[in-house]
């Protein structure tokens, strides 16, 4: 891929300048990138990449200062012709794919670490910093060190009651936080129906530069290719899992985690707010009520998903159970929107990070789990395996 994007032959560890197909920013990163871009001259090049900005982290705007930043973004979009996804359209890692702005084989960079999510549709997608984003916007190109590759073979199919989020949590423990640093992870699966979005989304927690669902990637499998590592994972044996505070790779079976009282549950964001995720949660919550000692917040990943859930009656089921449904966006995942937990509270979240302070309060405890586990825990008022609900 880097050979095609750079116009030269290259191998792992080479440094190349590559053409960027899409650059995207969020309302959390755009103001700083716009300022850096202005210092570079503020002119978009003729061969520039497509540029998109999503207002998704602060939805709705919580302060006059944030509203001013949103205004700055809108003015920049009007001036330059960039694509804008507005408040309520959804999380950048979901909605830009829905808009058709990300395609298999594209080199995509985003000023957000979870840009790797788009590897699930075969794009070479990775997160970058403010200065790199400004340079890519101004020149249409960016430098990369060509990464080594890991081949990940997923054997078998997920068992009933186990979701792709459980697989992602399993891989958090499998790779840890350093094993895939600046490597490209090529994922091969025997299950044609599995959605690898949660896996690609969380791959940055392993340190991966890219994570690619090879069913959609235009690169063909080469039996002669040399991998830095080949890893086989037998997914059939995976059970519902939970990541314990305050690291993503401290993962245990839900049934082995003990009696953990749950004060708050979040189902949504870019790693747990897809249609399939909300459908799984609704299946658990149908004809059940959220525990009196627990709050449930649901955040669809996009407006399209929100509307589809309305049409299918999924939102009605969730709301009837006692859930509060928030506008599509990042929600409380990174502590920028409503839904910040209190001191000492335990939160079960379908988000991708549980670092101390991630949700806006360093004195809260965040557990990561699948939508089914999160929904079951909301009903039980404690950490619970959905398979154990009566």
CA distances from 201 to 82, 164, 171, 209, 361 (A): 25, 11, 12, 11, 23
| Entry pTM | 0.94
Angle at CA of residue 315, ends 312 and 316, nearest 5°: 90
C-alpha span between 160 and 25 (Å, rounded): 38
Q: Per CATH, the architecture of 2-10+17-143 is what?
A: 2-Layer Sandwich (3.30)
Q: Per CATH, the architecture of 148-237 is what?
A: 3-Layer(aba) Sandwich (3.40)
Closest to 328 (Cα-Cα) out of 378, 279, 273:
273
**In 146-285, where do the E strands start and end?**
148-155, 183-189, 210-213, 229-234, 241-243, 251-253, 264-268
Domain 241-388 CATH class label: alpha beta
Residue-level pLDDT, tens digit, the chain, 390 residues: 888 888 888 889 999 999 999 999 999 999 999 999 998 887 765 456 899 999 999 999 999 999 999 999 999 999 988 999 999 999 999 999 999 999 999 999 999 999 999 999 999 999 999 999 999 998 899 999 999 999 999 999 999 999 999 999 999 999 999 999 999 999 999 999 999 999 999 999 999 999 999 999 887 655 667 899 999 999 999 999 999 999 999 999 999 999 999 999 999 999 999 999 999 999 999 999 999 999 999 999 999 999 999 999 999 999 999 999 999 999 898 888 889 999 999 999 999 999 999 999 999 999 999 999 999 999 999 999 999 996
Q: Same CATH fold, 241-388 and 148-237?
A: no
> 314-321 and 275-285 are packed helices; what angle lies between their axes, rounded to 10 degrees?
50
Domain segments of the chain as ranges: 2-10+17-143, 148-237, 241-388
């Amino acid at each position: 891929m880097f050979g095609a994007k750079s116009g030269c032959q290259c191998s792992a560890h080479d440094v190349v300048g590559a053409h960027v197909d899409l650059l995207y920013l969020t309302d959390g990163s755009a103001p700083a990138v716009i300022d850096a871009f202005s210092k570079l001259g503020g002119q978009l090049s003729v061969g520039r990449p497509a540029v998109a900005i999503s207002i998704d982290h602060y939805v709705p705007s919580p302060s006059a200062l944030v509203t001013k930043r949103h205004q700055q973004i809108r003015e920049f979009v009007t001036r330059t012709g960039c694509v804008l996804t507005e408040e309520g359209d959804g999380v950048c890692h979901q909605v830009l794919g829905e808009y058709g702005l990300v395609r298999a084989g594209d080199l995509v960079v985003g000023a957000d670490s979870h840009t790797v999510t788009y590897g699930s549709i075969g794009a070479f997608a990775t997160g970058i910093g403010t200065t790199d984003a400004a340079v890519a916007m101004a020149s249409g190109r960016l430098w990369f060190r060509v990464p080594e590759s890991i081949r990940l073979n997923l054997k078998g199919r997920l068992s009933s009651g186990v979701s792709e989020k459980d697989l992602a949590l399993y891989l958090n423990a499998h790779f840890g936080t350093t094993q895939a640093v600046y490597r490209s992870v090529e994922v091969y699966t025997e299950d044609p129906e599995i959605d690898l979005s949660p896996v690609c989304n969380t791959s940055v927690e392993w340190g991966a530069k890219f994570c690619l669902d090879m069913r959609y990637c235009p690169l063909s499998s080469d039996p002669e290719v040399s991998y830095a590592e080949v890893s086989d994972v037998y997914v059939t044996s995976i059970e519902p899992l939970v990541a314990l505070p305050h690291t993503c790779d401290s993962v245990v079976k839900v049934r082995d985690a003990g009696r953990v009282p749950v004060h708050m549950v979040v189902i949504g964001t870019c790693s747990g707010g897809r249609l399939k995720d909300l459908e799984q949660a609704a299946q658990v919550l149908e004809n059940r009520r959220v525990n009196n000692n627990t709050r449930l917040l649901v955040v669809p990943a996009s407006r399209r998903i929100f509307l589809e859930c309305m049409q299918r009656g999924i939102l009605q089921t969730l709301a009837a159970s006692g859930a509060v449904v928030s506008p599509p966006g990042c929600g409380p995942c990174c502590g920028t929107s409503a839904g910040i937990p209190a001191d000492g509270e335990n939160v079960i979240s379908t988000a991708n990070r549980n670092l101390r302070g991630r949700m806006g309060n360093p004195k809260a405890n965040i557990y990561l789990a699948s939508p089914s586990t999160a929904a079951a825990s909301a009903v039980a008022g404690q950490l619970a395996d959905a398979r154990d609900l009566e």
